[in-house]
């Protein structure tokens, strides 16, 4: 299978240009992104850094968001997080709660020094697992004026507790850690890292709906791209080991800047956004600029690429209001 649009899962808007850029995070890892620029010329633009979903690349959903928002007048940067896609970092196909949060701030670094960007009007947007990273970045980076999360996963919660918190026990975590650490030994012995496999293919008839939902995006022409982990061989088996005991949203109720969280009503993952939103506004004196928007009847991957469902008008107005 090949991607639909020469490496991308979407068509470039005729009112937008796209160029490859490189920057680095404070760990020295080179990050690679696509910078989307409106053809309408202005001296200064508001800017938005975008990445996600977890295991996807900039040629997929994050690029689609960047493409659409650039057509609405924003400079946007869709980038590959550390360790995946065209970005640097060794070993490949691993993730880090710390480094992947830092990646958002590195994108803000890059945007803030561009002559055509207003450094006081920079926001971020995280899709799926990088929605959680975006919230975590908003906690720590006071330069971020507005944050949008779409169909958010809290990757530390799902790794520690399993889906729907069904494995939330010390014994379950211990058994998982035993398995992952045994794999570490095998990987070191074999001098290579075993891959977990991407989205299951062929799709079992009895697969849960959310697995079918992922298959429909990552394993079909709709969303497939060559660099995507989820479309191909997946993460390393041990790729998210550190997520088990590093919860990322502990201080989310200290976010002062504006946050818009968007989720589909029928998404298996909707509980992540609902719970994260409640935790974010609890005892937070800055909750008037926080909003949870539930999209009726939408499932998880509808918010990856369905422009009839993704509320782009709302996202645009949210950023413009915060950038005033």
pLDDT score at 312: 98
Residue 272, pLDDT score: 98
Backbone torsions φ then ψ of 177, nearest 5 degrees: -65, -40
Rounded average pLDDT over 113-133: 98
**Of 167, 21, 9, residue with least CA distance to 86:** 21
Give the percent of the chain with pLDDT over 70.
100
Give the chain's mean pLDDT.
97
Q: How far is CA 115 from CA 42, 44, 112, 320, in A?
A: 11, 8, 8, 20
Looking at residues 6-31, what average pLDDT do you find? 98
Q: What is the pLDDT of residues 42-53, one digit of tens each?
A: 999 999 999 999
How many distinct helices (H) and strands (E) make up the chain? 9, 8
Contact 265, 235 (CB under 8 A): no
Residues 6+ apart with CB under 8 A from 204: none
What's the whole-number mean pLDDT along residues 298-304?
A: 98
Confidence at 222, pLDDT banded by 50, 70, 90: very high
CA distance 75 to 38: 7
The 3-state DSSP class for residue 198 equals: coil
Q: Which two tokens stand for residue 63?
A: 């690029």
Nearest to 65 by CA among 122, 112, 23, 10: 10
Q: Taking Cα atoms as reference points, which of 75, 69, 47, 63 lies closest to residue 146?
A: 47
Bond prior to 91 in cis (omega within 30° of 0): yes
């Amino acid at each position: 299978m090949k991607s639909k649009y020469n490496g991308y899962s979407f068509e470039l808007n005729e009112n937008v240009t796209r160029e490859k850029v490189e920057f680095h995070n404070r760990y020295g890892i080179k990050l690679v992104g696509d910078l989307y620029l409106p053809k309408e010329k202005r001296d200064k633009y508001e800017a938005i850094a975008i990445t996600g979903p977890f295991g996807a690349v900039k040629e997929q959903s994050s690029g689609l968001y960047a493409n659409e928002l650039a057509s609405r007048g924003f400079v946007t940067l869709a980038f590959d997080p550390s360790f995946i896609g065209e970005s640097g970092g060794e070993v490949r196909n691993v993730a880090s709660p710390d480094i992947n949060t830092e990646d958002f701030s590195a994108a803000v670094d890059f945007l803030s020094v561009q002559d055509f960007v207003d450094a006081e009007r920079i926001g971020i947007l995280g899709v799926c697992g990088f929605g959680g990273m975006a919230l975590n970045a908003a906690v720590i980076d006071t330069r971020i004026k507005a944050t949008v999360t779409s169909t958010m996963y809290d990757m530390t919660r799902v790794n520690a507790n399993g889906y729907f918190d069904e494995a939330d026990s010390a014994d379950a975590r211990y058994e998982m850690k035993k398995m992952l650490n045994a794999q570490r030994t095998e990987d070191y012995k074999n001098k290579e890292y075993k891959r977990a496999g991407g989205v299951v293919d062929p799709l079992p008839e009895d697969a849960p709906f959310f697995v079918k939902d992922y298959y429909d995006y990552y394993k079909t022409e709709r969303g497939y791209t060559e660099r995507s982990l989820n479309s191909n061989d997946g993460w390393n088996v041990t790729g998210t080991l550190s997520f088990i005991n590093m919860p990322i949203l502990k201080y989310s109720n200290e976010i002062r800047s504006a946050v818009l969280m968007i989720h589909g009503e029928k998404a298996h993952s909707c509980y992540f956004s609902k719970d994260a939103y409640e935790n974010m506004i609890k005892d937070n004196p800055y909750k008037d600029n926080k909003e949870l928007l539930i999209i009726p009847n939408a499932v998880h991957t509808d918010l990856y690429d369905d422009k009839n469902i993704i509320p782009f008008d709302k996202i645009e107005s949210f950023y413009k209001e915060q950038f005033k």
